[in-house]
Amino acid sequence: MIRHACLELLAGKMTDQLVVTSQSGQRIEWAQISKHEGNLLLGMMGCAIGVATGLALALPQRKVIVLDSDGSPVPCAWRFPGVGTALAGALFLHRVLTVQSKGSETRRVDWAQSSALLVRREAAAAVDYLDPDFFVYYDECDFAKRLADAGRHSLFVPTAKAVHHDQLSTDLAVGLPRIVEFHRNRDLYMRKHHSRAAAAAVRALTAWAYALRAIAAIALPGQPADVYRAHARQALFPERGRGLRDRATRSSA
């Protein structure tokens, strides 16, 4: 029995239970399957069990169900963005051709996620640290590219482990500014390190890939078609919309 069928079976048996989910695949599927008033769809990883335990202690009269992730490793190192990686994504070969965090041996990679980086201070100082023009996304990618251009390279060390409490949301009311910021910063990276033509090609290829996902999501259960449509729109027109930086600037004004 596949996960979606299991969740459908569980949804049919729900009465007044509280359901806590982590930020993972089952959160998306459960949100589509069940509109149960007791749903608590957490927007981060690694805390579902703790939250559920707290609810169970505070509300002993209510049953609490936890839908947690299995702790499987997620990609954390990739090839530098470019037309080639965008084409790989458009052909749905991203995990094969772009993801570099594979295998059990320490190896050189292009760039890694900033949630688990160790960088020599003198190397960071030599390239003037992170570029403040980037906001939340692609700052570490730009940082790694400038380090590589200066002869410093990144290593993927599979024996080192880190838990990243991701905060991406599948709720557009919450997640849209992040989507805007993500594509805006990727376009900034492309224009900084590549030609305008290459940046335009990446926008088109990325929008195509997300548009195909949005179409497929209409027929596939548990897939957030509206989120994919938002990604496709922002990939093609990254300057539109209000991103996280816009919100932060407005809040501090």
Is position 127 within any domain? yes
Question: Is residue 128 located within the same domain as residue 239?
Answer: yes
Amino acid identity of 164?
H
Number of domains in the chain: 2
Is position 213 within any domain? yes
Residue among 177, 185, 183 at smallest CA distance from 143: 185
Burial environment of residue 31 by CB neighbours within 10 A (0 to 12, 13 to 18, 19 or more): middle
Q: Which residue has the higher pLDDT, 68 or 248?
A: 248
Question: Is residue 90 located within the same domain as residue 213?
Answer: yes
Boundary-marking domain end, from 51, 67, 83: 67
**Orientation angle between helical segments 172-193 and 139-149, nearest 10 degrees:** 20
Question: Is residue 149 located within the same domain as residue 86?
Answer: yes
The pLDDT assigned to 220 comes to: 80
Looking at every residue in the chain, the average pLDDT score rounds to 88
Whether pLDDT at 26 is above 60? yes
Question: Is residue 233 located within the same domain as residue 125?
Answer: yes
Question: Is residue 28 located within the same domain as residue 144?
Answer: no
Question: Is residue 218 located within the same domain as residue 105?
Answer: yes
The pLDDT assigned to 233 comes to: 97
Rounded mean pLDDT, 168-176: 62
Residue among 184, 185, 187 at smallest CA distance from 199: 187
Owning domain of residue 16: 3-67
pLDDT tens readout for residues 179-200: 999 999 999 999 999 999 999 9
Query: Cβ–Cβ contacts within 10 Å for residue 73, how many?
Result: 9
Is position 225 within any domain? yes
Whether pLDDT at 168 is above 70? no
Question: Is residue 121 located within the same domain as residue 148?
Answer: yes
Percent over 90 (pLDDT), the chain? 56
Whether pLDDT at 32 is above 60? yes
